[in-house]
Amino acid sequence: MSRKFFVGGNFKMNGTIESVKAIAKNLSEAQLDPNVEVVIAPPALYLLLVREHLKSGLEVAAQNVFDKPNGAYTGEISVAQLKDSGINWTILGHSERRTVLGESDAVVASKTKFATEGGVNVIWCCGESLEEREAGQTISVIEKQLAAVAGQISDWSKVVIAYEPIWAIGTGKVATVQQAQEVHEAIRKWLKANVSEKVAEETRILYGGSVNGKNCKELAKEKDIDGFLVGGASLKPEFVDIINSNL
């Protein structure tokens, strides 16, 4: 089967009212490959603003969501509130949430379960540190992360996997095409062996980690790379080139 190419833009903690409106306007007016699913993730404060200014057909994601229903959880956003706001996606398990904010595999899995069961799609992130890669532990680290989430969810149709080597995020370093493809292939093999052949075949696996307008075309050619999760470049005009990298 043909998996629909997917490009996500993670603004992280960047942007102003003026800049996010300009990004939404630029994307809405650009000639984008109609065969690509596009989802952008502004800071929570700007979710509704971006949704209001982004044309229909382009989606908006939160950068996080809580794994409890509405209630006394100061500072958090619920799945129900995202749905109520027309926000149908969230990013979970990003390395910055895991490493800076201490989210464990179990916490990420619980959030993923709560989001998917509540009708919100998840860009689920995994990846290894430089030390883990140099120790030859890349695949074992990612399989451990996969096992945690696979033990919690049943509907994989609401999950897009993003492989993001921590050492390549915001550093300017990029995994070689071969390194990226090897890990993507390993993820797909794990899904086939531990979930199902159908899930392995249908689940989209994105590459993230200093993706830009110059390196995206070569990465997009690989058979197990189904798109990108873009950080800094999603704030720039070249994001359009990345979306159109599969043309």
Query: Which residue, among 76, 8, 4, has the nearest Cα to 42 in the 3D structure?
Result: 8
pLDDT value at position 3?
A: 97
Cα gap 163→187, rounded to integer Å = 9
Per residue of the chain (247 residues), what is the pLDDT tens digit?
A: 589 999 999 999 999 999 999 999 999 999 999 999 999 999 999 999 999 999 999 999 999 999 999 999 999 999 999 999 999 999 999 999 999 999 999 999 999 999 999 999 999 999 999 999 999 999 999 999 999 999 999 999 999 999 999 998 888 888 899 999 999 999 999 999 999 999 999 999 999 988 999 999 999 999 999 999 999 999 999 999 999 999 8
The pLDDT assigned to 195 comes to 98
For the question of residue 184 being annotated catalytic, the response is no
* Cα distances (angstroms) measured from residue 183 to each of 32, 38, 99, 233, 245: 28, 23, 21, 23, 21
Q: Assess whether 197 carries a catalytic annotation.
A: no
**Cβ contact 163:183 at 8 Å:** yes
Q: Which amino acid is at 116?
A: T
- pLDDT attached to residue 173: 82
Structural domains for the chain: 5-243 (3.20.20.70)
Q: What angle do CA 187, 193, 199 make, to 5 degrees?
A: 70
Please count the other Cβ atoms lying within 10 Å of the Cβ belonging to residue 99: 12
Query: Which residues, in sequence order, are bridge partners of residue 61?
Result: 89
Whole-number pLDDT of residue 170: 83
On whether the CB atoms of residues 92 and 111 are closer than 8 A, the answer is: yes
Query: What pLDDT, on a 0 to 100 scale, did the predictor assign at position 177?
Result: 93
> Which pLDDT score is estimated for 8?
98
Q: Which of 37, 132, 164, 184 is catalytic?
A: 164
Catalytic residue among 37, 94, 96, 132: 94
In this prediction, residue 1 carries a pLDDT of: 58
SS3 readout for the chain: CCCCEEEEEECCCCCCHHHHHHHHHHHHHCCCCCCEEEEEECCHHHHHHHHHHCCCCCEEEECCCCCCCCCCCCCCCCHHHHHHCCCCEEEECCHHHHHCCCCCHHHHHHHHHHHHHCCCEEEEEECCCHHHHHCCCHHHHHHHHHHHHHCCCCCHHHEEEEECCHHHCCCCCCCCHHHHHHHHHHHHHHHHHHCCHHHHHHCCEEECCCCCCCCHHHHHCCCCCCEEEECHHHHCCCHHHHHCCCC
pLDDT per position as a tens digit, 48-59: 999 999 999 999
Separation of alpha carbons 156 and 31, rounded Å: 31
